[in-house]
Amino acid sequence: MLARTNWLGEFFKHGVLLAGAIVVLLPFYLMLSYSLKSPHEIEANVGGFFGSQEIMTDQRCVKAGNPEEDCLMRPIVYNYTAAFKEAPLVRYMLNGVFVTVTIFIIQVIVALPCAYALSKLRFWGRDVVFGMVIFCLLIPVHAIALPLYIMLAKVGLTNTYGALIIPWSISVFGIFLMRQFFMTVPDDLIDAARMDGMSEFSIVWQVMLPTAIPALLAFGIFSVVAHWNDYYWPRVVITGNKDLMTPPLGLRMFKSDMDGNEYGPMMAATTVIVMPLVIIFLLAQRRFIEGITMTGMK
Protein backbone atom coordinates (compact mmCIF):
# COMPACT_ATOMS: atom_id res chain seq x y z
CA MET A 1 0.00 0.00 0.00
CA LEU A 2 2.88 2.35 0.71
CA ALA A 3 4.61 1.58 -2.57
CA ARG A 4 1.82 3.15 -4.61
CA THR A 5 3.11 6.49 -5.79
CA ASN A 6 0.60 9.22 -5.49
CA TRP A 7 2.13 12.07 -7.43
CA LEU A 8 -1.03 14.12 -7.41
CA GLY A 9 -1.21 13.88 -3.61
CA GLU A 10 2.46 14.75 -3.27
CA PHE A 11 1.98 17.75 -5.55
CA PHE A 12 -1.01 18.94 -3.54
CA LYS A 13 0.83 18.61 -0.21
CA HIS A 14 3.74 20.64 -1.51
CA GLY A 15 1.29 23.30 -2.67
CA VAL A 16 -0.26 23.64 0.79
CA LEU A 17 3.08 23.62 2.60
CA LEU A 18 4.57 26.12 0.16
CA ALA A 19 1.69 28.54 0.76
CA GLY A 20 2.29 28.20 4.51
CA ALA A 21 6.02 28.70 4.04
CA ILE A 22 5.39 31.96 2.17
CA VAL A 23 3.34 33.40 5.04
CA VAL A 24 5.90 32.19 7.60
CA LEU A 25 8.81 33.70 5.69
CA LEU A 26 7.07 36.97 4.77
CA PRO A 27 8.31 39.02 7.76
CA PHE A 28 11.85 37.68 7.38
CA TYR A 29 11.81 38.67 3.73
CA LEU A 30 10.43 42.13 4.54
CA MET A 31 12.93 42.66 7.34
CA LEU A 32 15.90 41.94 5.09
CA SER A 33 14.46 43.81 2.13
CA TYR A 34 13.55 46.96 4.11
CA SER A 35 17.00 46.98 5.66
CA LEU A 36 18.46 47.37 2.14
CA LYS A 37 16.10 49.91 0.59
CA SER A 38 15.79 53.67 0.63
CA PRO A 39 12.97 55.35 2.61
CA HIS A 40 11.24 56.30 -0.64
CA GLU A 41 11.29 52.72 -1.96
CA ILE A 42 9.93 51.38 1.33
CA GLU A 43 7.03 53.79 1.41
CA ALA A 44 6.10 53.28 -2.22
CA ASN A 45 6.62 49.51 -2.00
CA VAL A 46 8.81 49.45 -5.10
CA GLY A 47 12.27 48.20 -5.95
CA GLY A 48 11.90 44.45 -5.43
CA PHE A 49 14.10 42.81 -2.82
CA PHE A 50 17.30 44.84 -3.16
CA GLY A 51 15.92 48.19 -4.24
CA SER A 52 17.76 50.13 -6.91
CA GLN A 53 20.56 51.16 -4.50
CA GLU A 54 20.58 54.65 -5.98
CA ILE A 55 22.83 57.11 -4.17
CA MET A 56 20.76 59.01 -1.59
CA THR A 57 21.38 61.96 0.70
CA ASP A 58 21.51 61.39 4.42
CA GLN A 59 19.29 64.23 5.67
CA ARG A 60 20.51 64.05 9.22
CA CYS A 61 24.09 64.36 8.06
CA VAL A 62 23.15 67.50 6.09
CA LYS A 63 21.33 68.97 9.07
CA ALA A 64 24.42 68.39 11.17
CA GLY A 65 26.14 70.97 8.95
CA ASN A 66 28.19 68.72 6.69
CA PRO A 67 28.55 69.59 2.99
CA GLU A 68 26.05 67.66 0.92
CA GLU A 69 28.62 65.71 -1.10
CA ASP A 70 29.87 64.10 2.11
CA CYS A 71 26.40 62.88 2.92
CA LEU A 72 25.78 60.82 -0.20
CA MET A 73 25.59 57.09 0.21
CA ARG A 74 23.85 53.95 -0.91
CA PRO A 75 20.66 53.03 1.05
CA ILE A 76 22.14 49.80 2.36
CA VAL A 77 25.12 51.68 3.83
CA TYR A 78 22.85 54.40 5.18
CA ASN A 79 20.51 51.94 6.91
CA TYR A 80 23.20 49.90 8.62
CA THR A 81 25.42 52.82 9.64
CA ALA A 82 22.39 54.70 10.97
CA ALA A 83 21.36 51.61 12.96
CA PHE A 84 24.73 51.44 14.66
CA LYS A 85 24.98 55.23 15.11
CA GLU A 86 21.46 55.88 16.41
CA ALA A 87 21.48 53.09 18.98
CA PRO A 88 24.31 51.46 20.94
CA LEU A 89 23.66 48.21 19.11
CA VAL A 90 27.09 46.75 19.84
CA ARG A 91 26.56 47.39 23.52
CA TYR A 92 23.12 45.72 23.40
CA MET A 93 24.58 42.67 21.69
CA LEU A 94 27.44 42.41 24.18
CA ASN A 95 24.96 42.74 27.05
CA GLY A 96 22.87 40.00 25.47
CA VAL A 97 25.86 37.67 25.17
CA PHE A 98 27.07 38.44 28.68
CA VAL A 99 23.66 37.95 30.30
CA THR A 100 22.73 34.75 28.46
CA VAL A 101 26.14 33.12 28.96
CA THR A 102 26.30 34.07 32.66
CA ILE A 103 22.78 32.78 33.25
CA PHE A 104 23.62 29.46 31.61
CA ILE A 105 26.87 29.00 33.55
CA ILE A 106 25.21 29.75 36.90
CA GLN A 107 22.28 27.48 36.08
CA VAL A 108 24.70 24.61 35.42
CA ILE A 109 26.74 25.29 38.55
CA VAL A 110 23.58 25.20 40.68
CA ALA A 111 21.68 22.45 38.88
CA LEU A 112 24.33 19.86 38.13
CA PRO A 113 25.39 19.00 41.71
CA CYS A 114 21.77 19.04 42.83
CA ALA A 115 20.75 16.70 40.01
CA TYR A 116 23.64 14.40 40.91
CA ALA A 117 22.62 14.31 44.57
CA LEU A 118 18.99 13.65 43.65
CA SER A 119 19.82 10.78 41.33
CA LYS A 120 22.90 9.12 42.83
CA LEU A 121 23.16 9.92 46.54
CA ARG A 122 20.95 8.52 49.25
CA PHE A 123 20.14 10.93 52.05
CA TRP A 124 17.35 11.91 54.35
CA GLY A 125 14.92 14.34 52.70
CA ARG A 126 15.83 13.51 49.11
CA ASP A 127 12.23 12.89 48.12
CA VAL A 128 11.16 16.13 49.75
CA VAL A 129 13.69 18.08 47.68
CA PHE A 130 12.63 16.30 44.52
CA GLY A 131 9.00 17.03 45.32
CA MET A 132 9.94 20.67 45.71
CA VAL A 133 11.57 20.65 42.28
CA ILE A 134 8.40 19.21 40.74
CA PHE A 135 6.26 21.77 42.54
CA CYS A 136 8.47 24.63 41.33
CA LEU A 137 8.13 23.36 37.77
CA LEU A 138 4.50 24.45 38.00
CA ILE A 139 5.40 28.08 38.67
CA PRO A 140 5.90 30.04 35.46
CA VAL A 141 8.67 32.51 36.23
CA HIS A 142 6.99 35.25 34.18
CA ALA A 143 3.94 35.00 36.41
CA ILE A 144 5.89 35.84 39.56
CA ALA A 145 7.75 38.72 37.91
CA LEU A 146 6.00 41.31 40.05
CA PRO A 147 6.98 39.99 43.51
CA LEU A 148 10.51 39.31 42.21
CA TYR A 149 10.67 42.88 40.97
CA ILE A 150 9.56 44.17 44.38
CA MET A 151 12.15 42.03 46.15
CA LEU A 152 14.93 43.23 43.83
CA ALA A 153 13.81 46.84 44.22
CA LYS A 154 13.86 46.46 48.02
CA VAL A 155 17.51 45.42 47.96
CA GLY A 156 18.33 48.10 45.41
CA LEU A 157 19.15 45.77 42.56
CA THR A 158 16.86 47.09 39.83
CA ASN A 159 18.79 48.58 36.92
CA THR A 160 21.79 46.31 37.43
CA TYR A 161 23.11 43.23 35.64
CA GLY A 162 22.22 41.39 38.83
CA ALA A 163 18.54 42.05 38.22
CA LEU A 164 18.83 40.52 34.75
CA ILE A 165 20.66 37.43 35.96
CA ILE A 166 19.74 36.53 39.57
CA PRO A 167 16.09 35.51 39.01
CA TRP A 168 17.20 32.96 36.40
CA SER A 169 20.06 31.51 38.46
CA ILE A 170 17.85 28.59 39.46
CA SER A 171 16.44 26.44 36.70
CA VAL A 172 14.28 23.73 38.25
CA PHE A 173 13.77 22.51 34.77
CA GLY A 174 17.53 22.08 34.37
CA ILE A 175 17.65 20.10 37.62
CA PHE A 176 14.81 17.88 36.45
CA LEU A 177 16.36 17.29 33.04
CA MET A 178 19.81 16.53 34.45
CA ARG A 179 18.38 14.21 37.09
CA GLN A 180 16.52 12.20 34.45
CA PHE A 181 19.74 12.01 32.49
CA PHE A 182 21.88 10.94 35.45
CA MET A 183 19.42 8.17 36.30
CA THR A 184 20.60 6.46 33.12
CA VAL A 185 24.29 6.69 34.09
CA PRO A 186 25.44 3.33 35.60
CA ASP A 187 26.33 3.39 39.31
CA ASP A 188 29.48 1.38 38.53
CA LEU A 189 31.02 4.44 36.98
CA ILE A 190 30.61 6.38 40.21
CA ASP A 191 31.68 3.49 42.41
CA ALA A 192 34.85 3.10 40.36
CA ALA A 193 35.59 6.79 40.79
CA ARG A 194 35.09 6.47 44.56
CA MET A 195 37.45 3.49 44.64
CA ASP A 196 40.04 5.69 42.99
CA GLY A 197 39.65 8.02 45.95
CA MET A 198 37.85 10.82 44.13
CA SER A 199 35.86 13.16 46.31
CA GLU A 200 32.15 13.60 45.67
CA PHE A 201 32.94 17.10 44.50
CA SER A 202 35.37 15.94 41.82
CA ILE A 203 32.98 13.17 40.81
CA VAL A 204 30.40 15.82 39.92
CA TRP A 205 32.73 17.95 37.84
CA GLN A 206 35.15 15.38 36.44
CA VAL A 207 32.94 12.32 35.95
CA MET A 208 29.32 13.47 35.71
CA LEU A 209 29.87 16.68 33.78
CA PRO A 210 31.59 15.00 30.79
CA THR A 211 28.91 12.33 30.57
CA ALA A 212 26.19 14.96 30.66
CA ILE A 213 27.42 16.94 27.65
CA PRO A 214 24.55 15.91 25.29
CA ALA A 215 21.89 16.84 27.85
CA LEU A 216 23.74 20.04 28.73
CA LEU A 217 23.88 21.02 25.09
CA ALA A 218 20.13 20.61 24.72
CA PHE A 219 19.54 22.56 27.90
CA GLY A 220 22.04 25.20 26.79
CA ILE A 221 20.26 25.76 23.49
CA PHE A 222 16.98 26.09 25.34
CA SER A 223 18.36 28.47 27.94
CA VAL A 224 20.28 30.71 25.54
CA VAL A 225 17.41 30.99 23.07
CA ALA A 226 14.95 31.80 25.85
CA HIS A 227 17.09 34.51 27.43
CA TRP A 228 18.44 36.07 24.26
CA ASN A 229 14.86 36.51 23.08
CA ASP A 230 13.35 37.44 26.44
CA TYR A 231 11.82 40.88 26.45
CA TYR A 232 9.43 40.82 29.39
CA TRP A 233 11.88 40.47 32.25
CA PRO A 234 14.42 43.09 31.05
CA ARG A 235 11.48 45.42 30.40
CA VAL A 236 10.41 45.08 34.04
CA VAL A 237 13.76 45.61 35.77
CA ILE A 238 15.66 47.94 33.43
CA THR A 239 14.24 51.43 33.13
CA GLY A 240 15.94 53.86 30.83
CA ASN A 241 19.58 52.87 31.39
CA LYS A 242 20.73 52.00 27.88
CA ASP A 243 24.05 50.61 29.11
CA LEU A 244 22.25 47.62 30.59
CA MET A 245 19.76 46.88 27.84
CA THR A 246 19.60 43.52 26.12
CA PRO A 247 18.94 43.34 22.35
CA PRO A 248 15.11 43.09 22.41
CA LEU A 249 14.78 45.91 24.95
CA GLY A 250 17.26 48.05 23.03
CA LEU A 251 15.30 47.49 19.85
CA ARG A 252 12.12 48.57 21.64
CA MET A 253 13.85 51.80 22.74
CA PHE A 254 15.01 52.36 19.17
CA LYS A 255 11.41 52.03 18.04
CA SER A 256 10.06 54.56 20.52
CA ASP A 257 12.97 57.00 19.95
CA MET A 258 12.51 56.81 16.20
CA ASP A 259 11.59 60.10 14.61
CA GLY A 260 9.56 60.04 11.42
CA ASN A 261 9.68 57.02 9.18
CA GLU A 262 13.11 55.54 9.65
CA TYR A 263 12.01 52.10 8.63
CA GLY A 264 15.31 51.32 6.92
CA PRO A 265 17.65 51.80 9.92
CA MET A 266 15.05 50.22 12.20
CA MET A 267 14.90 47.10 10.06
CA ALA A 268 18.68 47.03 9.81
CA ALA A 269 18.86 46.99 13.62
CA THR A 270 16.20 44.26 13.72
CA THR A 271 18.18 42.18 11.24
CA VAL A 272 21.37 42.53 13.29
CA ILE A 273 19.54 41.33 16.42
CA VAL A 274 17.54 38.49 14.88
CA MET A 275 20.16 37.05 12.55
CA PRO A 276 22.76 35.55 14.95
CA LEU A 277 20.32 32.98 16.37
CA VAL A 278 18.70 32.35 12.99
CA ILE A 279 22.07 31.63 11.36
CA ILE A 280 23.20 29.34 14.19
CA PHE A 281 19.84 27.60 13.97
CA LEU A 282 20.14 27.04 10.22
CA LEU A 283 23.65 25.62 10.69
CA ALA A 284 22.77 23.26 13.53
CA GLN A 285 19.10 22.75 12.73
CA ARG A 286 18.64 19.20 13.92
CA ARG A 287 20.33 19.82 17.26
CA PHE A 288 18.24 22.91 17.85
CA ILE A 289 14.96 21.21 17.08
CA GLU A 290 15.91 18.20 19.23
CA GLY A 291 17.08 20.45 22.05
CA ILE A 292 13.97 22.56 22.08
CA THR A 293 11.60 19.61 21.75
CA MET A 294 13.35 17.70 24.48
CA THR A 295 13.24 20.70 26.75
CA GLY A 296 9.82 21.74 25.47
CA MET A 297 8.31 19.81 28.35
CA LYS A 298 8.74 22.87 30.52
Interface positions, 182-211, toward another protein (CB under 8 A): 199-201, 204
| Residue 1 or 195 with smaller CB distance to another protein | 1
Q: Residue 238: helix, strand or coil by DSSP?
A: coil
Residue 196: CB atoms within 10 Å? 10
* H/E stretch holding 215: helix 213-229
Question: Least distance in Å: CB of 274 to another protein?
Answer: 5
Among candidate residues 126, 124, 294, 134, the one with its CA nearest the CA of residue 222: 294
| Residue 45 or 184 with smaller CB distance to another protein | 45
Interaction residues for another protein, span 254-273 (CB under 8 A): 255, 261, 263, 266-267, 270, 273
Q: Is there binding between residue 85 and another protein (CB under 8 A)? A: no
Cα gap 206→193, rounded to integer Å: 10
Q: Out of 149, 198, 211, 284, point to the residue binding another protein (CB under 8 A).
A: 149
Q: Is there binding between residue 251 and another protein (CB under 8 A)? A: yes
Residue 182: CB atoms within 10 Å? 20
Cα gap 219→214, rounded to integer Å: 9
Q: Is there binding between residue 228 and another protein (CB under 8 A)? A: yes
The C-alpha angle with vertex 246 and arms to 240 and 250, in degrees rounded to 5, equals 55
Q: Is there binding between residue 142 and another protein (CB under 8 A)? A: yes
Q: Out of 90, 94, 183, 297, point to the residue binding another protein (CB under 8 A).
A: 297
Interaction residues for another protein, span 38-77 (CB under 8 A): 42-43, 45
Residue 254: CB atoms within 10 Å? 22
Q: Which stretch binds another protein (CB under 8 A): 49-57, 71-79, 87-95, 107-115?
A: 107-115
